[in-house]
Chain A
């Protein structure tokens, strides 16, 4: 067994690898950039070595510095995690030269699978079914349009070196091909330093399902079932599960066998993933092979009970996999939600900043339920512009899919994140979405179900009432507390009124609220009475409560004139008023919000890469006005409605902050 390994990564994956290493009794070495000095992975590792400035090219992507760190610390092997150097064939080559072991597949496998075109040719040869497309690189826009027309719209423009949704564009017509060609080229060159592109058929109602494989150097190769990764946004996975509701035993077997065939063909060892696109008739086509540990590997671990990192470490030492294909049983259901620092209400634009509050739900390992949270951040940490905006991967496991989803809903309700915009409400929304619950999903799920963007969840009557009871109970608690303030004229505490009106989501409920020793009774006009029991004290954001025996959690903040309540993906203002206040509030006038449609404000911090209009220009709805680069992603800011540009205040190459004025309209 290795004595010491180095993890050439950061964030949650570095932490996750350290955990397994600790379990195996292996000492760990973390590397960190200047920006990550206070990171969790640095704290968790036995040793930590600084490898330079925040910029990835000078730190986490520097093979030289990482090898130096390994030699300095005496680590024998290096786990690359995912991203960064994990699929760069130069890395294992350099490691070998330096006498270090790479915890991952052989160089040749990385090389051949790393190129999307080569990999496809190899797959075809190995008898794996592939998507119809143009085998070859696209050099010019004209060629892109010609090839696209030949394949037939819609088509997908992809970066040859791409991954993680970067450098990918779907085009439905010639114009979009032209636009996408340049955008992909730019992104590809920025992200991978390689701007080669290719084009293939875009399958319209596809599912993204992948097979986890594991091989050793003794010719053993197994597959660990599938992962359903269809819930994606802009080709970036958001929610994954294992198994898939769509895959039957027969298809699973076929997919698994093809995946193993391909792996065998390239002499694969270690953990890897073969991604397929599956159409509605369960035809599946090879997409690509990822020669590394995947972000979403925990769902496979949860249903197989296999620690993939442990297996990778063992295989790297030339050990045999300790089980056979027949030993692998898929057990129960696992879901993973990826928490990103991105603002769902602003079209998921990246958000950066300080995690002023970060309280994940408690991890849990019971025979019936598992809650696992893979994270690399702590409260007070920084989500910076330099790295991936993923905050955590929250996973739940239960015997059945509905139970796993319910557990996920509860866990999301218990997750507290403040300081940066995050997609928690969106994840909650999906967990409660009837189509997701039915399992009838495709990779277009988000696009189709949230066509107007995400605007929050409207609660159903039952959930609304739960919320109403909880807030009424909190309110009475606070009122009683205030009536006990010192310095009163009478020593006797006046009884607090019990007649309240709760306003939420346009619904007014009149309730009688009575507090007894242990709980609060909330009685509605329709005679329903809810018995609320809660553990909360003022200042707590999280309210854990029980209503009629069922457990729930919600988040509450005091705001002027009421409460801000977050529950099940809804973000609502709740007001609790006395009858007198209700009567008087009728006098208050509705005020209009300030008109902001006359200007374009920067929705995220970033760099202006282009301004696509000039002063005095007329523009159409949907026209690109300017492009902001943030988190290495190009974000085109498009016009919400037609208009004329009055003044432009931002300049190209200027770095700008959230809500900074970019241009004004007539």
Chain B
């Protein structure tokens, strides 16, 4: 058996073992076999390995546990023990930066999660937490491996526990590239960002069949939990893309914005964009009529390096914009009211959307830029009865606890409680700037005058005079600046330079909250 010996570089390799190893590797690489791979391809989906191949830099993937097999003996499972057990795990690099990755293989038992499958995922999650590198999970699984019963459920819970522990330590990103149903959804749900593929992925706790049986509601998988549903209605997912390739390409782009962990600062991309770039057009961004909307996205694009803005949750709660830009090559998280939608007001959805983003930035040392044009909170029973008080408080809380550099620019309206919420000076804003068009007040002039001069309501002439008086007093940033709530009033065209300099000056910021086990954010 051990007769033939060759020498390579001073190392003794036994030919037979070598051959055996190659065969085993080859077998593992084949996954569920040609037929199932073809079926996967026919759906427009890539295989688990192809996805990793595209996601990571060429030849950078180091695989773990290729030879792991399940240990189930029920229902004839002992006769079918493919290597790898339906998930490919390991580490590699994206543009040279370390990433841990697991990718479920739908061609092997429908990517179902067994005890050993879960162990493989847990192993790389543990390593990621220890070695402080992000985790990307690619989900394409039919769910729990029924044959294994509670062992499979235990496996899920082990993964969940690690998601919780990793949260706030290393970024966790989930790519949903096939089914993700039942308990399985809670792992991605606890990660930082979820990207989905349109038409070929879905997430739900209970599928269309169960829904039909229980509630008589007839709904398709796509409508119940497809990429469009989750990026427009439920906000479960952050981004949706056309197909596997685009999703992976955008994930690579996205990872360039994220720090490796909660101790390291964001990566620096070599930058060429002039930090003193003057944007003349910004001087006229704010329309003459205070009730005319404008596109806040234009400001974001003109502030950031290269006009590069990675927007998150683009199609949900569009009255607030969130995403990443770079200044001097460094990542900045942006939160901005969008006057184009619902006048840019805060409501339940926008507060939740922004709050979670602010907390991500704070957890991972990403400085936050807040662009404010907010007329207040959206009124109405729909909001009040659904708890806008607690949801709005989430954003307030998130800003208040954040210790990362915070720069705020008020472009136009900053009314009422919403002014306080949007990273005001009082919530430890480091730099609070305003454009000359800023209006910082408890409310708009008309509403204010109605309350201030209730008895004069019948006299329109008087009311107009009072409105003018109020406007002169409050529809400018000077009162706030006199009190030091606004650090400076800046010319719109110079915003990029001023904001970039502000962040530059804050690179050494060191601020700590009082010791606590953890806070009690109004969830």
A residues with CB within 8 A of B:
34, 37-38, 354-358, 378-382, 481-490, 493-494, 497, 537-539, 558, 560-561, 580-581, 584-585, 587-589, 591
Contact = CB atoms under 8 A, between A and B. Distances in A.
Interface in B292-342: 294-295, 298, 305-308
A489 B284 contact: no
Contacts of A591: 198-199, 242-243
A561 B97 contact: no
B389 interface: no
B45 interface: yes
Contacts of A581: 54, 245
A561 B249 contact: yes
Dominant SS among interface residues on chain A? loop
Contacts of B41: 587
Interface string B429-462: 0000000000000000000000000000000000
Contacts of B270: 481, 484-485
29 contacts: A354-B284, A354-B294, A356-B281, A380-B284, A381-B284, A382-B284, A482-B95, A485-B95, A485-B256, A485-B268, A486-B268, A487-B259, A487-B260, A487-B264, A487-B268, A488-B93, A489-B97, A494-B57, A497-B58, A539-B273, A539-B306, A539-B307, A558-B308, A561-B249, A580-B54, A584-B53, A587-B46, A588-B243, A591-B243
Contact of B50 (A355, A381, A584): A584
Contacts of B27: none
Contacts of B46: 584, 587
B303 to A, nearest CB: 12
B281 A355 contact: yes
Given A587-B41, A588-B243, A482 B283 contact: no
Given A493-B96, A580-B54, A482 B269 contact: yes
Contacts of A485: 95-97, 256, 267-270
Contacts of B260: 487
A580 B264 contact: no
Nearest to B305: A539
Contacts of B95: 482-483, 485, 488
B272 A585 contact: no
A589 B288 CA distance: 48
B98 A489 contact: yes
Interface in B35-68: 41, 43-46, 50, 53-54, 57-58
B221 interface: no
Interface string B482-512: 0000000000000000000000000000000
B269 A481 contact: yes
A187 B316 CA distance: 43
A357, A487, A494, A585 pick with most chain B CB within 10 angstroms = A487
A581 B244 CA distance: 11
B50, B199, B244, B270 pick with most chain A CB within 10 angstroms = B270
A487 B245 contact: no
Contacts of B54: 580-581, 584
A560 B241 contact: yes
Contacts of A489: 93, 96-98
B268 A560 contact: no
Interface in B271-297: 272-273, 280-285, 288, 294-295
Interface string B348-392: 000000000000000000000000000000000000000000000
A587 B269 contact: no
Interface in B227-258: 241-246, 249-250, 256
B265 to A, nearest CB: 9
Contact of A494 (B96, B98, B273, B283): B96
Given A380-B281, A484-B270, 8 more contacts: A354-B298, A483-B96, A485-B269, A488-B95, A539-B306, A584-B245, A588-B245, A589-B44
Contact of B267 (A378, A379, A486): A486
Nearest to B199: A591
Contacts of B250: 560
A581 B50 CA distance: 10
A485 B54 CA distance: 19
In the A-B complex, list the 4 residue pairs whose CB atoms are closest, starting with the nearest: A380-B281, A539-B306, A488-B96, A589-B44
Contacts of A483: 95-96
Contacts of A38: 283-284
A487 B288 contact: no
A358, A482, A539 pick with most chain B CB within 10 angstroms = A539
A489 B242 CA distance: 31
B246 A561 contact: yes
Contacts of A584: 46, 50, 53-54, 245
Contact of A380 (B256, B280, B288): B280
Nearest to A35: B288
A380 B58 CA distance: 44
Given A380-B280, A380-B283, A482-B256, A488 B97 contact: yes
A356 B93 contact: no
Contact of B288 (A37, A354, A560): A37
B493 to A, nearest CB: 9
Contacts of A34: 288
Nearest to B493: A380
Contacts of B307: 539
Contacts of A378: 280-281
Contacts of A380: 280-285
A482 B46 CA distance: 25
Nearest to B246: A561
Contacts of B272: 537-539
A24 B198 CA distance: 65
Nearest to A539: B306
Given A497-B58, A581-B54, A379 B308 contact: no
Contacts of B298: 354, 356
Nearest to B287: A382
A464 to B, nearest CB: 24
B182 to A, nearest CB: 27
A484 B242 CA distance: 29
B214 to A, nearest CB: 32
B46 to A, nearest CB: 6
A378 B97 CA distance: 43
A539 B256 CA distance: 16
A538 B260 CA distance: 24
Contacts of A561: 242, 245-246, 249
A544 B390 CA distance: 54
B93, B95, B199, B241 pick with most chain A CB within 10 angstroms = B95
Nearest to A379: B281
Nearest to A477: B272
